[in-house]
Amino acid sequence: MKAILMVFLGGGLGSALRFVISRGLNKSALEIPFGTFTVNIIGSLLLGLILGISLKSGALSNNTILFLATGFCGGFTTFSSFAFENQAFLRAGDYTNFALYTFGSIIAGFTAVFIGLYLSKLV
């Protein structure tokens, strides 16, 4: 039951922060949604840091990992918004922004995880 509570609390905080950031940075569905992009890349970086630190030192408890990685990062990042925004690009015939957003998000997301893992080795 404690594990569920950790995920629930972390997810709520992550979702609320995602809402604030996305609301401030997303302007319309017909331009690159920088809010969603930003939270997904920051979340990827944080996930790499959290899991890298945990793997390196074992300093994070299982409940802390559930709170931060599964809960916070899971609530903070959003694949569903990413998918919805991409279908809006396709529906509007905006193939350029569709390609930029899709491939930019994938490449930047993987890069952010790797950077987070690398930075965790320096801590």
**Residue appearing with tokens 């893992």:** 117
Positive or negative, the Cα torsion across 102, 66, 35, 108?
negative
Asked if residue 64 belongs to a known ligand binding site, the reply is no
Asked if residue 74 belongs to a known ligand binding site, the reply is yes
Numbered residues of the known binding site: 74, 77
Annotated binding residues for Na(+), written as ranges, equal 74, 77
